[in-house]
Structure 1
């Protein structure tokens, strides 16, 4: 399956196919004819797939690697100088290519490196986690974290191509499957009641697995359409942030060491829907529908923290604009909207 993201001169293809990693060099050759490739990956993913990918690439290009420790701590602004130094040492020029091989952390960091190294070099995404395949590898949002919060330094920088191989999900630990399902469920909540129904009917990832290529394709197609309408996240694209205002605050609260991103998004989706339902802004029963489906896919719905403890982080949320917090709320499953509000939406005594 091939989807085309139509962004004028920044257009690119997303290829979704089982076994695609085995012919990655063929796909890369279609969009790149330069001399050198630098592969940025982490020590976990590279151990599974790095050798095979590098063997393919070396038959055509001079190759180098930057291998980082796995985990969110690698997506830090403090990591950047070391990465830039390794790229300079390898002789990577503006006419060369960066390949991001990994999950959301590597994709975000490698994309930001590509956007800023020598004022910009082309890059290709090869996402290896479910979360990255359905969400973060598509759309050109690239960023690193500050100690004050997540994704606070970033840019919009589109890849030249995205290569998605559902077969690589077989090596993911179960927690990272659950992590990705948080974002999959999000797409059903905000844009596609039929996708939500499919997920609900399957009930577990094991039962959903045979439909995974189709599910990934549907999520990516939703995001493709949203990005084409709103490349720079000023309107419609903000709907993709459903659950993320609370999620990012939770992640920061626990220094990115407790809940994973998908788990935090799950908590955020349920909690904000519960609150909006209490305020009469969401159809009654919607929060319970979300709670049930999250539980069936092994995702949490609470983190045991007073919302008042999360407000400081929410003040720095990128959706906080001119003291107005643009929250993403559901009218019902499959229908979402931007709701201008402020931090008073969240009562200090309420538990998340």
Structure 2
């Protein structure tokens, strides 16, 4: 039995920072197991956050420069982490940071040049997990459901609340997953306007009131009526949602309160629609930054009612589940096994995705 020792790197749409998880992952008796040994969250500087946030608007030349600069930065952060860790690491699996995601146009791009990441860290790297699926007419997202299926199969639903909310579950033996809509993206946008990094435990949101007019406009967004497989991202948020925030005359507290109710209504609608009605006690695993927001979790449980229990795991798993799953995806890529599911992305077929880079010798 081989125990893989992998560094998983994740940067999400919420732009909180870089998540690093040092994981031990192994397969035993046909089941995958894991242990998250050490973690780190590297905050982005204001300059880096703005650089990444505005990457979509950069010229081709400037975008390529950011791709290389960010790859070097990822390598530097990985090397610092590994040196301090003092443990053996087999390879790095990096999600990168998504700058463009328009699968309907055959476009997706993850910043963080894999070769420069390998050169700077001195480690083998597996990265760029989305491109192949998009080339197979898939959405290239969400990718985490392979980890839900292999590592968290005891839960009926796995919900991730990063910038975007996505859900995965089994339906007639196939894994289904898609981006429901928003999670932290609008909340962070509003708190940043207030000069705050985030709304701790949702205290500000809890103090607000529901604005029914805004809630109706949000719930009527065209994206929600699209069939899965589907995925969304920052482009949708900036074009469709930011104008609603900017046009609103209500307080920031009321905005936060209304967005959480909206998010939870959409999540509950998705989960209850696909609940196995023959099972009375379904469980939903909630991870990602939104799971740390108590008002978000209380509101979600309220919308779901008693038929689906929201399970919030320990803080390490909440924060680093995605980094863990990319570590697993890297292993599957090196073993030549499926790591992206067509039932999730709508691609022509399942694929073994990701590009492999080795450090170049000087």
TM-score band, normalised by shorter chain: under 0.3
TM-score by structure 1 length?
Answer: 0.26
TM-score by structure 2 length?
Answer: 0.25
Structure of greater relative contact order (alpha carbons < 8 Å, 6+ residues apart): 2
Decide which structure has greater helix share. 1
